C-alpha cells in the first residue's frame, strides 16, 4: 500500500473555508493504515518535507468555484516567482519537495465546492456539508483501495 498524506487546509473560522480541515478531521478519525493526515490554515514551505516522506499526497481545500460536489485532479510541480506564507500553492509545495528533498510523490488536489466564505462562524453551509460528505466517501474509498492509477 502506498504511504498517503492528506493535507486539509483552510480557516475553519471562515465558514466554508474550513472544508479542508473538516475533511482532514473526518479522515483522521478513520485511522486508515499507511495514511497520515495534517490540517492547517494554509500550506507552508515545511509541508514539502512531509510530502517527501510519502508516495501520494492529497491537498484538500475549499473551492470557491468549479464543479460540485468536488473535483479531484493530479497536479505537477510548478515554480512560482515568489513564496509567501499566506499563499503557497500545492504545485509550489511539491516543487519544493522535489527540489529540496528529492520527492517523487504523486500529488492530487481535491477541491471541495464551498459557497459561504465571508463571515466569522465556525460552521459549514448546508450545501458545503453535503459536498464534504461526498468527498469524504470518495477519499476513504480511494485510500482503502490504494489504487491511484485511475484517470480523474
Partner 1 sequence: MAKTKVIEIEPVSRVEGHGKVSIHLDEHNNVQEARLHIVEFRGFERFIRGRPFWEVPVIVQRLCGICPVSHQLAAAKAMDVIVGAKKLTPTAEKIRRLMNYGQIMQSHVLHFFHLCSPDLLFGFDADPEIRNVFGIIKKMPELAVQGVMMRKYGQEIIRATSGKKIHGTGAVPGGVNKNLSLEERDSFLKDIDQMKKWALGALTLAKNYTLEHMETVKEFAAFNSSHMSLVREDGSLDLYHGNLRAIDAGGNIIFDQVDYKKFNDYIMEEVRSWSYNKFPFIKSRGHIDGWYRVGPLSRMNTAGFIDTPEAQKALEEFKGLTRGKPNHMSLAYHWARMIEVLHCVEKIEELLNDPDLQGKDLLVKGDRTEEGIGVIEAPRGTLFHHYRVNKDDQVTYCNLIVSSTSNNEAMNRAVTKVAHDHISGKPKITEAMLNHVEVAVRAYDPCLSCATHALGQMPLVIEMYDVHGSLLERKGKCV
Cβ closer to partner 1: 15 or 142? 15
Window 121 to 150, contacts with partner 1 (CB under 8 A): none
What is the CA angle 140-143-146, rounded to 5? 150
Judged by CB under 8 A, the number of residues near partner 1 is 30
Among 49, 115, 138, 148, binds partner 1 (CB under 8 A): 49
Task: Note whether 135 and 25 are within 8 A (CB).
Answer: no
For strands 35-40 and 106-113, give the pairing: unpaired
For every residue of 3-14, which 3-state class applies, written as one string?
CEEEEEECCCCC
**Which of 31, 65, 104, 120 forms a contact with partner 1 (CB under 8 A)?**
120
Does position 100 interact with partner 1 (CB under 8 A)? The reply is: yes
60 binds partner 1, rule: CB under 8 A: no
116 binds partner 1 (CB under 8 A): no
Binding mask 11-40 for partner 1 (x = CB under 8 A): xxxx------x----------------xxx
* Contact partners, residue 145, CB within 8 Å, separation at least 6: none
Hey, which residues does 74 pair with through a beta bridge? 108
Amino acid at each position: 500500500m502506498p504511504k498517503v498524506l492528506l493535507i486539509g487546509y483552510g480557516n475553519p473560522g471562515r465558514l466554508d473555508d474550513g472544508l479542508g480541515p473538516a475533511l482532514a478531521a473526518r479522515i483522521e478519525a478513520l485511522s486508515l493504515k499507511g495514511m497520515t493526515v495534517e490540517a492547517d490554515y494554509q500550506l507552508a514551505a515545511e509541508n514539502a518535507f512531509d510530502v517527501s516522506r510519502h508516495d501520494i499526497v492529497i491537498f484538500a481545500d475549499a473551492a470557491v468555484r468549479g464543479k460540485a460536489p468536488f473535483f479531484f485532479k493530479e497536479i505537477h510541480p510548478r515554480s512560482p516567482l515568489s513564496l509567501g506564507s499566506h499563499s503557497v500553492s500545492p504545485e509550489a509545495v511539491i516543487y519544493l519537495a522535489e527540489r529540496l528533498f528529492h520527492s517523487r510523490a504523486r500529488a492530487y488536489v481535491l477541491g471541495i465546492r464551498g459557497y459561504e466564505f465571508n463571515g466569522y462562524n465556525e460552521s459549514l453551509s448546508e450545501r458545503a456539508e453535503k459536498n464534504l460528505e461526498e468527498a469524504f466517501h470518495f477519499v476513504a474509498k480511494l485510500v482503502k483501495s490504494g489504487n491511484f492509477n485511475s484517470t480523474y
